[in-house]
Amino acid sequence: MSAADPTTVVHAYGLVHRPRTLPDHGIAEADLRTIGFHDLEVVVSDLAAESFGEAAWAEHGEDTRWVTPVASAHHEVLQDLVDRGDVLPLQLPGIYRNDEALVAALESSRAHLEGVWRFLSGRVEWSLQVFPTSAPRKSEVPAPRSGREYLERRRSQQDERDEQRGRRERLLANTHEALAREAVASVVRAPLDSAVTGREEPMLLNSAYLVPREKERRFLRVAEEHHNQLVVDAGMRVEVSGPWPPYSFVGAGERRDDDLTGTAS
């Protein structure tokens, strides 16, 4: 790309190790190419500045209808790359006026980026979510015959809920700890709201694990064992997805204010 071309910007997806092939296209169906960065390559697209430059992000960056397809295309490139080999995701938006500006920004974080690359190499992210097997049913009971019976019933119901909650939390903690032992790193995130999941059942656990590629089968075997146990013993199901680009673990080591790494959305 020409440094003097004001009509285009460079969008950076992530760092890889000299890929033999690249995905077919990126954001807005743009072609992909790489820029050398020491022993690594940064995967980029040249995008129209009018549509995806700083002004466009300033105007539309809070509009989910505009951001969602951009973030999805950004993720699809990274997902394709992680299926081919290691990748260090760069944050969205990753817009630079030209190749030189991108390389300069990477150079300013070089030591950190190299440390993160070493940490992520040979490892991928697996996500885990736990849901009840069905929405809780409200049983119909006769109306209390007295105020005393009402209070006793409420107390009994509360005790039962507390006992169930404590048992559920112990089982969830055991599941997370077992999977964390199979991973290099793990993180527990806030459960997603039903408005996001589109499900009636509440999410009970939302976690991610950085797993060495050679241990993925064992990790999935442990996840399946705990799924079977939770279904039988507690009416909960484990849902595992991946492998993903390691979005949740790009913060390995000390984060800097000018850090370029981050999640894809």
Domains, the chain = 8-108 (no CATH), 123-246 (3.30.70)
Picking from 124-128, 133-137, 160-164, 252-256, which range would have the lowest pLDDT averaged per residue?
Answer: 252-256
Is pLDDT of 47 > 70? yes
Contact 225, 53 (CB under 8 A): no
Is pLDDT of 48 > 60? yes
Distance CA 21, CA 44 (A): 13
In the predicted model, what is the mean pLDDT of residues 95-120?
95
Contact 90, 259 (CB under 8 A): no
Per-residue model confidence (pLDDT) at position 6: 84
Structure confidence by residue, pLDDT tens digits, 200-209? 899 999 999 9
pTM, rounded to two decimals: 0.81
In the predicted model, what is the mean pLDDT of residues 52-72?
95
In the predicted model, what is the mean pLDDT of residues 71-88?
96
The position carrying tokens 């049983």 is: 139
Per-residue model confidence (pLDDT) at position 257: 38
